[in-house]
Structure 1
Amino acid sequence: MIEEKHTMRLPHNAHLAIADGNRFVLMRNAGSPDEPRLVQEAAPDLEGTNFSAGVRKQDEAGQRTGSTDLNELAYAAAVAEWLNKAVLENRIEKLGIAADPKTLGEMRRHYHKSLEAVLVGEEAKTLTGESTERIEKTLLSS
Structure 2
Amino acid sequence: MTHLPVPHKTLIVVGTGEGAKFYRNAGKNGDLKLQHSKDLEPGDLADQGPAGKQPPDTSAKESMEATFAKILANHLYALAQSHKFDDLILVLDPDTLGETRPSLHVSVTDKIMLELPKTLVNSPTDEIEKSIMAAL
TM exceeds 0.5? yes
Higher relative contact order (CA 8 A, sep 6+): 1
Could you tell me whether the CA contact under 8 Å between 1:12 and 1:29 is conserved in 2?
A: yes
Could you tell me whether the CA contact under 8 Å between 1:17 and 1:98 is conserved in 2?
A: yes
Q: Deviations over 1:60-102 (max 9, x none)?
A: xx527x7xx1111111111111011101111122111000111
Could you tell me whether the CA contact under 8 Å between 2:88 and 2:112 is conserved in 1?
A: yes
* Structure-2-length-normalised TM-score: 0.84
* Structure-1-length-normalised TM-score: 0.81
Count of matched residue pairs:
130
Q: For 2:90, which of 73, 94, 97 is the aligned residue?
A: 97
List structure 1 runs of 4+ shifted beyond 3 angstroms: 45-48
Using the aligned pairs only, state the percent identity. 24
- Please list every run of 5 or more consecutive structure 1 residues that lacks an aligned counterpart in the other structure: 1-6
Residues 1-142 of structure 1 correspond to what in structure 2 (within 5 A)?
A: 9-32=5-28, 35-47=31-43, 48=45, 49-55=48-54, 58-59=56-57, 62-63=58-59, 69-142=62-135
Matched position secondary structure for 2:59: helix
Matched position secondary structure for 1:133: helix
Could you tell me whether the CA contact under 8 Å between 1:9 and 1:139 is conserved in 2?
A: no
Greater strand content? 2
